[in-house]
């Protein structure tokens, strides 16, 4: 769009959280954005796309003829994926300590040519390739970790300032608040796979050592940490949230760092929802424990309606408290097990007529850290049948 193609290209907005089926089926099977349909073919992948636009539309080329600049430009373009991947990976560790090297790379690259403030001196495809990522990282790192990527990097600061003078670029920028909330949900769900050793327990045949030496109540899950054992799911997730690195997943006015704004209403409602977890699950389990000729559906409706209504409380995101929180983590394993069981045994879809609940399930299933914890649906249904229906 730097070449001023607003009048020659029709822009079609795609909801990244809910990509329409027609886009993958009829436009771009890879289902990535952006993509460009031109002269009967579709070009995807950001770098390929900007090169294609530069070569196939009117206007001066944005890649230099000078062989030295061209060589450096190609090197910088080939590093884009490395740069973005490295910075994103740091969001789940300690970006304040470790992000410096990536932004130092950009600062040093901006020293190569002195005939302008941009990577190759004058505006080029290299700037177009980097700027959307750099500005998003700048916003997110500043908001979450108070880390200023331009501190001590005057050339990077001048580069960002120069590109923000270009109207065609400014029109493409995302709203900072939306960006931060999107990145929070995507990257800040605590991934502790590398910090916690998982030990599987057969629920049908729990080993004697577990009750005798680990957790006398003999329930799962439990966590052994710093010489003590924490059990009960709600206590456990609260403990993890408070004792492991990463922004808190519960709103609290006393917290310095949280994925939530300091909202007392969210904190109060969140506590209410957490208190209701045992009531919700207990009532659903009790409804299963009926004579097989009876249907549990009438007894279930109010409890899933409660979830649907709760999801309407805040409008700043698709989760119970707007953004991802301990509440979602507390409910999702139960809801996703009840969902296939009710559908498989009684043909009851808990999301029918409940669009907020459907969107909530879909959104959580986009989170890799959650997806790796899911049980096989067929096994879940068979287990519930055996536990609740075959005893009658």
Identify the CATH number of the domain in which residue 126 sits. Answer: 1.20.1050.10
Asked if 341 and 374 sit in the same domain, the reply is yes
Spatial distance between the Cα atoms of 103 and 29, rounded to a whole number of angstroms: 34
Question: What 3 state SS string does 222-256 have?
Answer: EEEECCEEEECHHHHHHHHHHHCCCCECCCCCCCC
Full residue range of the structural domain in which residue 320 is found: 249-392
With 0.75 as the threshold, say if the pTM is over it.
no
For residues 350-369, give the mean pLDDT. Answer: 90
Choose between 16 and 358: higher pLDDT: 358
* Euclidean distance between CA atoms 187 and 203, whole angstroms: 32
Query: Based on the domain organization, do 223 and 136 belong to the same domain?
Result: no
First to last CA, the chain: 67
Q: What's the chain's average pLDDT?
A: 83
pLDDT digits (tens, 9 = 90+) for 119-159: 999 999 999 999 999 999 999 999 888 899 999 999 999 99
User: Is the same domain home to 242 and 264?
Assistant: no
Specify whether the CB–CB gap between 26 and 17 falls below 8 A: no
Cα(339)–Cα(99) distance, integer angstroms: 41
Q: Which two tokens stand for residue 166?
A: 């270009």
- Nearest-angstrom CA–CA distance, 131 and 137: 10
Mean pLDDT (whole number) for 69-77: 94
Q: What is the largest CA-CA distance in the chain?
A: 83
Helix axes 326-346, 233-243, angle to 10 degrees: 140
Whether 219 maps to a domain, the answer reads yes
Confidence of residue 201 (pLDDT cuts 50, 70, 90): confident
Q: Is residue 90 domain-shared with residue 172, that is, in the same domain?
A: yes
Which residues are 120's β-sheet partners? 122
Highest mean pLDDT among 2-11, 150-159, 358-367: 150-159
* pLDDT(262) > 70: no
**CA-CA-CA-CA dihedral for 276, 279, 283, 285, to nearest 10:** 100
pLDDT at 390 over 80: no
- Give the list of residues 6+ apart from residue 341 with CB closer than 8 angstroms, or none: 288, 380, 381, 384, 385
| Band (193; pLDDT cuts 50, 70, 90) | low
Q: Which residues pair with 16 in a beta bridge?
A: none
User: By three-state DSSP, how is residue 99 classified?
Assistant: coil
Q: What is the pLDDT of residue 346?
A: 87
Note whether residue 376 is domain-resident: yes
The whole-angstrom separation of Cα 173 and Cα 296 is 50
pLDDT of 251 strictly over 80: no
**The predicted structure's pLDDT at residue 130:** 95
Give the number of domains in the chain: 3
CA-CA distance, 125 to 57, in Å (whole number)? Answer: 14
Q: Which is more confidently placed, 316 or 114?
A: 114
Distance in angstroms (rounded) separating the CA atoms of residues 104 and 156 = 9
Cβ proximity of 96 and 47 under 8 Å: no
Same domain as 261, residue 385: yes
Instruction: For residue 34, tell me if it sits in a domain.
Output: no
Q: Prior bond to 316 cis, omega within 30?
A: no
- Over residues 356-360, mean pLDDT: 95
Residue 317, C-beta contacts closer than 8 angstroms, at least 6 positions apart: 181, 185, 323, 324
* C-alpha span between 14 and 353 (Å, rounded): 25
Q: Please determine, for residue 275, whether its predicted confidence score (pLDDT) is greater than 80.
A: yes
Last residue of a domain, one of 201, 217, 246: 246
Check: CB of residue 4 under 8 Å from CB of residue 171: no
Instruction: Examine residue 232 and state whether it is found in any structural domain, yes or no.
Output: yes
Q: Is the pLDDT of residue 256 over 50?
A: no
pLDDT at res. 316: 77
User: Contacts for 97-100 with beta carbons within 8 Å, 24 or more apart?
Assistant: 99/141, 99/147, 99/149
Residues 227 and 338 in one domain: no
Q: Within this chain, do residues 115 and 207 fall inside the same structural domain, yes or no?
A: no
232 vs 282, higher pLDDT: 282
**Alpha-carbon gap, residue 228 to 215, rounded angstroms:** 10
For residues 50-62, average pLDDT: 72
Give the mean pLDDT of 372-381: 82
Query: What would the two tokens of residue 4 be?
Result: 């001023």
Taking residues 56-70, report their average pLDDT.
Answer: 83
As a whole number of angstroms, the distance between CA 40 and CA 56 comes to 13
- Supply the pLDDT for residue 22: 83
From the CB of residue 363, how many other CB atoms can be counted at a distance below 10 Å? 17
* Confidence band, pLDDT 50/70/90 cuts, at residue 1: very low
| pLDDT > 80? residue 162 | yes
In a domain, 6, yes or no: no
- Please report the DSSP string for 132-169 in residue order: HHHHHHHHHHHHHH---TTTT-HHHHHHHHHHTT-HHH
89 and 216 inside one domain: no
Same domain, 321 and 293: yes
Residue 105 confidence class, pLDDT cut points 50, 70, 90: very high
Query: Among the listed ranges 220-224, 245-249, 289-293, which one has the minimum average pLDDT value?
Result: 289-293
Both 242 and 254 in a single domain? Answer: no
- 255 with 376, same domain? yes
């Amino acid at each position: 769009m730097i070449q001023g193609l607003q009048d020659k290209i029709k822009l079609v907005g795609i909801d990244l959280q809910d990509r329409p089926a027609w886009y993958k089926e009829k436009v771009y099977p890879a289902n990535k954005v952006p993509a460009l349909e031109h002269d009967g073919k579709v070009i995807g992948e950001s770098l390929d796309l900007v090169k294609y636009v530069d070569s196939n539309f009117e206007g001066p080329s944005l890649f230099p003829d000078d062989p030295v600049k061209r060589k450096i430009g190609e090197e910088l373009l080939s590093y884009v994926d490395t740069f973005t991947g490295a910075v994103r990976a740091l969001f789940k560790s300690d970006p304040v300590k470790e992000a410096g090297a990536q932004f130092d790379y950009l600062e040093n690259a901006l020293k190569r040519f002195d005939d302008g403030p941009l990577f190759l001196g004058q505006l080029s495809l290299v700037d177009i390739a980097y700027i959307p990522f750099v500005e998003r990282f700048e916003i997110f790192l500043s908001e979450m970790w108070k880390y200023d990527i331009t501190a001590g990097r005057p050339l990077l600061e001048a580069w960002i300032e120069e590109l923000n003078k270009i109207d065609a670029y400014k029109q493409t920028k995302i709203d900072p608040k939306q960006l931060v909330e999107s990145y929070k949900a995507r990257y800040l769900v605590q991934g502790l796979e590398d910090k916690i050793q998982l030990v599987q327990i057969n629920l049908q045949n729990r080993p004697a050592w577990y009750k005798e030496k680990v957790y006398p109540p003999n329930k799962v899950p439990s966590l052994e940490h710093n010489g003590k054992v924490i059990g009960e799911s709600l206590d456990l997730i609260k403990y993890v949230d408070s004792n492991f690195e990463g922004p808190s997943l519960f709103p609290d006015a006393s917290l310095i760092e949280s994925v939530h704004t300091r909202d007392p209403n969210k904190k109060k409602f969140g506590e209410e929802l957490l208190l209701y977890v045992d009531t919700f699950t207990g009532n659903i389990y009790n409804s299963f424990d009926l004579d097989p000729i009876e249907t549990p559906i009438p007894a279930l409706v109010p409890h899933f309606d409660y979830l649907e209504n709760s999801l309407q409380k805040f409008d700043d995101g698709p989760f119970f408290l707007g953004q991802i929180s301990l509440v979602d983590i507390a409910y999702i394993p139960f809801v996703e097990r009840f969902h296939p069981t009710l559908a498989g045994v009684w043909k009851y879809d808990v999301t029918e007529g409940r669009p907020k609940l459907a969107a909530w399930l879909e959104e959580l299933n986009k989170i890799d850290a959650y997806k790796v914890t899911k049980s096989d649906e067929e096994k879940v249904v068979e287990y519930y049948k055996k536990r609740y229906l075959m005893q009658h």
